[in-house]
Amino acid sequence: MKETTPAAMPPCFDRWCQRFDDIFGHLAQKREFRNYLGGLLGESERKNLSQMAENAVGVTYHKLHHFLTTAPWSFNELNQRRLDVMNQCNQTKISRGFSLIIDDSGHRKSGNFTDAVGRQYIGQIGKTDNGVVVVTSHLYDGKKSLPLDIELYKKADSLPSGKDDPDFKKKPEIAINLIDKTCFERL
């Protein structure tokens, strides 16, 4: 059953999304950005594309999938704009005297269709299980946390050349890259 419609979002949602419109070259990209964000904010128990499309009137899986996987837009540009927008608002701006937090988070995941899913240690459950792991960076000022970046950890056995693959990085290497990115690009 379709539960929501993108047109039912409050006016402030579209005003917030308009801050990102110039990142997208086509009207369809702007629409799917709103549909995707609305799906993430919606009440679906599962936040996958199938469920988002199923729960919203006028939203299709194929258009969302194309937007995320094929459409020409820059994740880095979108993320930087998100950080700029958050830093302009008093409610989300990080005050002076913050800490940089680096964390690896694992989530159980069944199947093997998602990139980098496999048997690995997942700290959230305290054991090895099938799942996916990401390394994240956040700023924390004692009151609020501002998420900065996220990078997927790809296990060696999920890559064609294993540990010799150029895409293989250990979690500490990913963490150092995120720290460098924060120190040299943002602060």
pLDDT band at 7 (very low <50, low <70, confident <90, very high): confident
At residue 88, the pLDDT reads 87
Q: Which domain holds residue 29?
A: 6-73
Can you read off the two tokens belonging to residue 185?
A: 């690009």
- Confidence at 83, pLDDT banded by 50, 70, 90: confident
Look at residue 173 and tell me if it is in a domain.
Answer: yes
User: Is the pLDDT higher at 39 or at 2?
Assistant: 39
From 73, 105, 124, the end of a domain falls on 73
Question: 59 and 111 in one domain?
Answer: no
Number of domains in the chain: 2
Contact 25, 72 (CB under 8 A): yes
CA dist., res. 79 & res. 137, Å (int): 13
Q: Please report whether residue 153 resides in a domain.
A: yes
- According to DSSP, the residues that pair with 152 across neighbouring strands are 134
What are the C-alpha distances in Å from 149 to residues 66, 80, 82, 104, 134? 23, 9, 11, 12, 10
Confirm whether 18 is domain-assigned. yes
Instruction: Please give the model's pTM, rounded to 2 decimal places.
Output: 0.76
> Is pLDDT larger for residue 45 or for residue 58?
58
Cα-atom radius of gyration of the chain, to the nearest Å? 18
Taking every pair of C-alpha atoms in the chain, what is the biggest distance, in angstroms?
A: 50
Looking at the predicted structure, is the pLDDT value of residue 175 above 90? Answer: yes
